[in-house]
Amino acid sequence: MHTYRGGTGGEVTDVELLTAHVAGDPHAFRELLTRHQDHLWHVARRTSYSDEDASDALQEGLLSAHRNASKFRRDAAVRSWLHAIVVNACLDRIRRNKSRQAFSLSADNVEEPRDSHDHVEAVDMRMTVDQALALLPPEQRAAVVAVDMEGYPVAEAAIRLGIPVGTVKSRCARARKRLAAELAELGGRGNRS
């Protein structure tokens, strides 16, 4: 295992690692991924419809980042650059799989309830939200996930998604309106059963 240290013994920056990778260092990109793997997995998982799609999109995105590292512009943080590449890989995969509508049954983000009734309600709510998210167009889903689920400010979400701030705002507004309608519809169906 290679350990990266800066000139003063401190940790090498992400930009330095990316530069080393472009220069041919065989370990630099792996170190960069080690730093950001968890974050990028969560981004892929929240943007995709299933763990399988998230995994595939993450792999595709990282391969793209590896190949296109020389195109990195220093006006953005490396983490934001990687984030945007992974989101775009997820959106590309969603477009390719458009005919397949799936949703996550995972309860990864559901707080552990105190009793089984609460647990069933929490899982049911998560499934309902996932179903509603699955009905959104991919670009709206990515924007609303970044802002409302991941908690990024609109300006940072715009950087991460590689789109203007106004576009993030309009996609979120359209997504929230559609989500409200879909959640009401899905909730109404659940009450009728």
pLDDT given for residue 55 in this prediction: 92
Instruction: Take residue 40 and report the two structure tokens written for it.
Output: 């990028």
Question: In terms of domains, do 61 and 38 share one?
Answer: yes
> Distances in Å between the alpha carbon of 122 and those of 16, 66, 76, 126, 175?
44, 39, 38, 6, 22
Say whether pLDDT at 156 is over 70: yes
Q: What is the pLDDT of residue 113?
A: 44
Round to whole Å and give the CA distance between 87 and 54.
10
> Does 136 share its domain with 46?
no
Helix (H, G, I), strand (E, B), or coil: what is residue 151?
A: coil
| 137 band by pLDDT with thresholds 50, 70 and 90 | confident
Match 């490396």 to its residue by tokens: 78
Q: Is residue 4 domain-shared with residue 87, that is, in the same domain?
A: yes
Among 3, 6, 30, smallest CA distance to 18 is for: 30
Provide the residue range defining the domain that includes 69: 1-101
- The torsion angles phi and psi of 72, rounded to 5 degrees, stand at -60, 130
* Final residue in a domain of this structure, among 37, 66, 101: 101
Total structural domains within the chain? 2
Please give the structure tokens belonging to residue 58: 């993450």
The token duo for 4 is 């990266």
Same domain, 83 and 170: no
Q: Match 């590689």 to its residue by tokens.
A: 162
DSSP 69: G
pLDDT at 170: 94
